Amino acid sequence: MKKLLTVLLISVMMLSLAACGGKQEEGRKIGGTLIIGNTTEMTGDWITIFSNIATDNEVLNLISGYSTVDLTFDGEYVINETAVKDYKRIENADGSITYEFEINKGLKYSNDVEITAKDYVAGILLWNSKFIADLGGTNTGSFRLVGHDSYSKGETKEFAGVRLLDDYKFSVTIDAAYLPYFYELPLVGYGPEYLPFWLGDSVDVADDGNGAYFTVEVTKEDFEDIFTAARNNPKYVSSGPYVVEEYDVASKQVTLKINPNFKGNYEGQKPSIETVILKLVNQDTMMDELRTGQVDLLYGVVAGDTIQAGHDLVESGIGISYNAYPRSGYGKIHFVADHGPTQFKEVRQAVAHLINRTEFIQAFAKGYGSVVHGPYGEGQWFYQETRQELLSKVNEYPYSLEAAKKLLDEGGWNLDANGKPYTGEGIRHKMVGEELMPLVIKWFGSANNQFTDLLAIRLLQNPDIEAAGMKFEQTVGDFGELINWYTRTGGEQYTVPTYHMFNLATSFTPIYDLQRSYKPGDRVNYNRIADEELYNLAVKLVNRPATDREGFKKDFVNFIVRWNELLPDIPLYSNTLHDFFNEKLKDWGLTANIRLVHAILYAYIEE
């Protein structure tokens, strides 16, 4: 606890220093190179509607800008006045709310093409189109806007809730069915999209009064090839602070340069670091790379042994510094609930009783983390303010072979391989329909990952697993392969339900809205769980005015209690994240409230 308090105080102090920087300081030179190490493989396909790989998303953030809504260092959403000249919030008679934006003139992409209102509308139309769904992507990003359902299904060519008003004005209307909403302002945060890059020059945007639309029908048959070619070209046209200069597929390394046309974030902050390189590093050797200058920054470090090695570098006096902050997320065992043994909650609960999570987090985080009991992290305000109440209401699933056996018996896992009563020997079976299902859980874990290795010891080498009558079959592969199986995208073979369990981690933005994550049948319900009560609690949590913090906290507890019973994941840890970096990097202030791009904007290199 003392260690955690110390790093929290350090984080607060560093954040205060960074937040005081304001706009780019006079005399700060543009220059230098920042080499950032990341243990997650990138794909070069930066858009996140087909998968959700964190490193790809970081690159996308670096090349995207001028959103109508921006994020401050405090995790607050504000109107981006660099992009928006003026805006109106209009409460309509039917209960819907319209935001009308006027975009500043003079904004340009990296290719010198001027940005207009059409570009903002084009992005909304493209990423919510049936075309995207037909390609296997998620087209529900704007599902709260009026007319989304019919537009996204291709039933109407117009998107009724999106209007192109003139060259520099557009509007979006939030459907009354989704109001009030705790995070209303971020709902209308949209950035420009250079449409010719994705669809060529034949498609334009128009509006005849019934909603914006594409002037050409965009179908898979006609546009898949050009769109796929764009996805395979990592040098997207940029509206953000950086442009991709080079991506090396073999080494999984991307080099970005400053976009000279970028006018800044919501307060005009422009980047000072001329070159940013993101490269793949191995968790076992990345501190050696930092020590020898092969990388300049390792951010979001989670493993305790690695953190300790980083602190050893700091104390060695070779010019290494660090930043620490509580995580808004958690590491987990992720269950799939639409096939196999893990579709039954008794199995998920039994597995939880067979993992000593307190011991696991000590082995993994070495005192830089804690056990959590739901989808949240130590850094989130609503958990911090409800912690005691929450802990009094959840099942902590203490280690217990007997509890695991009891749950399996109650769940009907009381037969052997011949359909006779289970006597305690071999694998348990359950009659599902007319077939016996063995209690064998197929698990896919990512390679070169301490999390995977530690979990394997506890699941593959624990005699109590066999004593409980279950078995784990592990497959190890690269992270991209894991994501394909996890999302069931990336090829026809991945659409076949195969694995019951994955190990990975997740982090939350300041928008804590899990409706789609637990909506039965939703594309991003990767647990594939179908529980209406859980979904309704997720909906209720955010369907309130932004001022109702007390109600939010109350319903957060209710949501977690139900989640904790169903246990779609086993949360294994939430931890204190660490960044270790060469002291040439100045004003570094990454926190759990912001993304990598926000910290880079305010930092600089001093050789």
pLDDT score of 592: 87
The answer on pLDDT for 253 being more than 80 is yes
Tell me, what's the pLDDT at 283?
Answer: 87
Taking the C-alpha atoms of residue 494 and residue 492, their distance in angstroms, rounded to an integer, is 5
519 three-class SS = coil
The DSSP bridge partners found for residue 100 are 88, 171
For residue 213, what pLDDT is reported?
Answer: 99
Burial of 94 (0-12, 13-18, 19+ CB in 10 A): exposed
Q: Which amino acid would we find at residue 355?
A: I
Secondary structure of 172-195 as H, E, C letters:
EEECHHHCCCCCHHHHCCCCCCCH
**How confident is the model over 406-425, as a mean pLDDT?**
97
Q: What is the dihedral of CA 12, 504, 50, 76, to 10 degrees?
A: -20
- Beta-strand ranges (E) seen in 519-593 are 569-582, 585-586
Same domain membership, residue 394 and residue 525: yes
pLDDT at 8 over 50: no
Helix or strand run (H / E) with residue 222: helix 220-231
Q: What is the pLDDT of residues 292-315, one digit of tens each?
A: 999 999 999 988 999 999 999 999
* Mean of all residue pLDDT scores within the chain: 93
On the question of pLDDT at 434 being above 90, the answer is yes
| Residue 427 domain flag | yes
pTM for this structure?
Answer: 0.84
Residue 107, pLDDT above cutoff 70: yes
Regarding whether 559 and 460 lie in a shared domain, the answer is yes
Q: Give CA–CA dist 196/150, Å, rounded.
A: 25
Q: List, in sequence order, every beta strand (DSSP E) within 526-565.
A: none
User: Angle, nearest 10°, between helix axes 401-410 and 345-353?
Assistant: 170
Q: What is the pLDDT of residue 23?
A: 53
Residue 541 · residue 552 · CB < 8 Å: yes
For residue 600, the enclosing domain spans: 1-63+240-324+584-607
Q: Is the pLDDT of residue 12 over 70?
A: no
Are residues 240 and 260 in contact, defined by beta-carbon separation less than 8 angstroms? no
Assess whether pLDDT exceeds 80 at residue 9: no
Whether the pLDDT of residue 473 is over 80: the answer is yes
- Residue 6 in this model has a pLDDT that exceeds 60: no
pLDDT interval class at 346 (50, 70, 90): very high
From 174, 193, 198, select the one nearest 185 (Cα to Cα): 174
Collapsing DSSP to helix, strand or coil, 78 comes out as strand
Give the pLDDT band (50/70/90) at residue 16. Answer: very low
The yes-or-no verdict on residue 288 having pLDDT over 80 is yes
Q: Using CA of residue 264, residue 268, residue 272, residue 276, what is the dihedral sign? A: negative
The per-residue pLDDT for 523 is 87
In a domain, 454, yes or no: yes
Amino acid at site 25: E
Q: What is the pLDDT of residues 23-39, one digit of tens each?
A: 555 557 899 999 999 98
Digit-coded pLDDT (tens) for 575-586? 899 999 999 999
Determine the Cα–Cα distance for residues 239 and 82; give it in Å rounded to an integer. Answer: 12
Q: What is the mean pLDDT of residues 373-400?
A: 96
Q: Are residues 549 and 498 in the same domain?
A: yes
In a domain, 306, yes or no: yes
* In-domain check, residue 421: yes
**Confidence (pLDDT) at 24:** 54
Verify that 427 and 545 share a domain, yes or no.
yes
Query: Is residue 190 one of the residues assigned to a domain?
Result: no
Same domain, yes or no: 285 and 348: no
> Of the given ranges (19-33, 438-452, 484-498, 518-532), which has the lowest mean pLDDT?
19-33
> Is the pLDDT confidence value at 566 over 90?
yes
Q: Is residue 95 part of a domain?
A: no
Quick: pLDDT tens for 169-196. 999 999 999 999 999 999 999 999 999 9
Cα–Cα dist 291/310, whole Å = 9
Examine the domain organization and report whether 313 and 391 are in the same domain: no
Contact 174, 145 (CB under 8 A): yes
Report the CATH number at residue 357: 3.10.105.10
Q: How many domains does the chain have?
A: 2
At residue 43 the predicted structure's pLDDT band, cuts being 50, 70 and 90, is confident
Q: Supply the pLDDT for residue 49.
A: 87
pLDDT attached to residue 4: 34
Judged by DSSP in three states, 191 sits in coil
In 3D space, the residue among 18, 22, 13, 34 whose CA is nearest the CA of residue 587 turns out to be 18
In a domain, 178, yes or no: no
What pLDDT, on the 0 to 100 scale, is given for residue 75? 87
d(CA 569, CA 561): 13
Question: What pLDDT, on the 0 to 100 scale, is given for residue 26?
Answer: 56
CA distance 425 to 467: 8
Q: What pLDDT digit, counting tens, does each position of 189-218 carry?
A: 999 999 999 999 999 999 999 999 999 999
Residue 409, judged by CB atoms within 10 A of its CB (0-12, 13-18, 19+), counts as: middle
